[in-house]
Amino acid sequence: MEKYVELLDRQNIPHHVAMIMDGNGRWAKKRGMPRLFGHRQGVETVEKIVRACVKLGVKQLSLYAFSTENWKRPQDEVSGLMRLLVEYFDKKTDQLNEEGVKIRVIGNVGALSKVAQQSIFNAEEKTKNNDVLGLNIAINYGGRDEIVQAVSRIARGVQEGTIAPDEINEEMVGQYLYTKGIPDPDLMIRTGGEKRISNFLIWQLSYAELWFTDVYWPDFDIETLAQAIYAYQNRERRFGGLSG
Ligand code: FPP
C-alpha cells in the first residue's frame, strides 16, 4: 500500500512544502453535493496532511486557503469558507498546539471580519513557541498584493529617511513579505489538474520544484504527498548554476 512513503530518502525531505488545494468543488459535484461539502472534506484533508508532514519530517507547510480573488465567488460560498476557517482555528488549535505545530496566517488579515481576526490572533499566540511544524495558512492572500504592500512600506521608509535606496535588496524585500523569517518553499504541489501558480507565493516560489496532480484535494493523502516528494528527490536543483 504505502509505496512512495517507503521509497523516500529521509535525509532529503523538502524543508518547506507549499500547496494549492484545488478541486474541492469538482469533488463535491461528482457526488451530487454542494461545493461547501467539498470544502468541508478539504478541511479533513488538511488535518491528515499536517500529520503526514510531521511524520515525514517536513518543517514548513504553506496552504492556499483563500485568495484575494476568491471574494468573487458566490456570497454563500465565501461566508461558508470563512466559517470553516474560523471553526478550524477555534476547534483545532489546542490539538495542533499539543503536536508542536506553529500556526501563522499570511495575507491581508486586517480586511477580514473581527471574529476571524480574533480567531487567527488566538491561534497564532497560543502556538507561537512551537517548532515541530510551521503551518502557514494563506487567507485573503495574493502574491502581487503581498509585493505591493512590501513596496509601499519600503517606500515609506525611504520617504522618512530610515531606508536608503541603495540598501534595498532581495533580502530586505523578503523581510517585508508576509512570510518574513520563513525559508522559501522547496516544493509546490497543486492538486485538481490545473497547471498554474494562481498568484500564490510568486516571490518565494522562484526556485521551487513544481509538482501537479489531477487528484482532487479531498482525495489527496500521505501517499500522494510522498509521490510528490519522491519526484522532488529525483530532480536536480541547480538554482541557476551548473550541475556538479
Ligand atoms: C479550491 O477548490 C479550494 C479553495 C478555494 C478553498 C480551499 C480551502 C480548504 C481546503 C478548506 C479550509 C482550509 C484550511 C486550512 C482549514 P475549488 O473550490 O476551486 O474547486 P474546483 O476547482 O473543483 O471548483
171 located within any domain: no
pLDDT at 1: 64
Residue 223: per-residue pLDDT: 98
Q: Identify the domain containing residue 95 by its residue range.
A: 13-142+184-233
pLDDT, tens digit, 9 for 90 and up, residues 157-209:
999 999 999 999 999 999 999 999 999 999 999 999 999 999 999 999 999 99
For ligand 1, say whether the CB of 25 is within 6 Å of any of its atoms: yes
In order along the chain (244 residues), what is the average pLDDT of each group of 10 residues? 91 98 98 98 98 98 98 97 98 98 98 98 98 98 98 98 98 98 98 98 97 98 98 88 80
pLDDT for 73 equals 96
Question: What is the CA(219)–ligand 1 centre distance, in A?
Answer: 12
Looking at residue 45, what is its pLDDT? 98
3-state secondary structure the chain: CCHHHHHCCCCCCCCEEEEECCCHHHHHHHCCCCHHHHHHHHHHHHHHHHHHHHHHCCCEEEEEEEECCHHHCCHHHHHHHHHHHHHHHHHHHHHHHHCCEEEEEECCHHHCCHHHHHHHHHHHHHHCCCCCEEEEEEEEECHHHHHHHHHHHHHHHHHHCCCCHHHCCHHHHHHCCCCCCCCCCCEEEECCCCCCCCCCCCCCCCCCEEEECCCCHHHCCHHHHHHHHHHHHCCCCCCCCCCC
Ligand 1: centre distance to CA 48 (Å): 15
Q: Note the pLDDT of residue 90.
A: 98
CATH number for the domain harbouring residue 74: 3.40.1180.10
Out of 9, 12, 22, 221, the active site residue is 22
Q: What pLDDT is attached to residue 242?
A: 85
pLDDT at 243: 81
Instruction: Decide: 82 in ligand 1 pocket, CB within 6 A.
Output: no
Active site residue 22: yes
Total domains, the chain: 1
Is residue 163 included in any domain, yes or no? Answer: no
The yes-or-no answer on residue 9 being catalytic is no
Q: Does residue 84 sit within a domain?
A: yes
Judge whether 158 lies within some domain: no
**Which of 17, 24, 48, 81 best tests ligand 1's pocket when mutated (most atoms within 8 Å of CB)?**
24
Is position 25 within any domain? yes
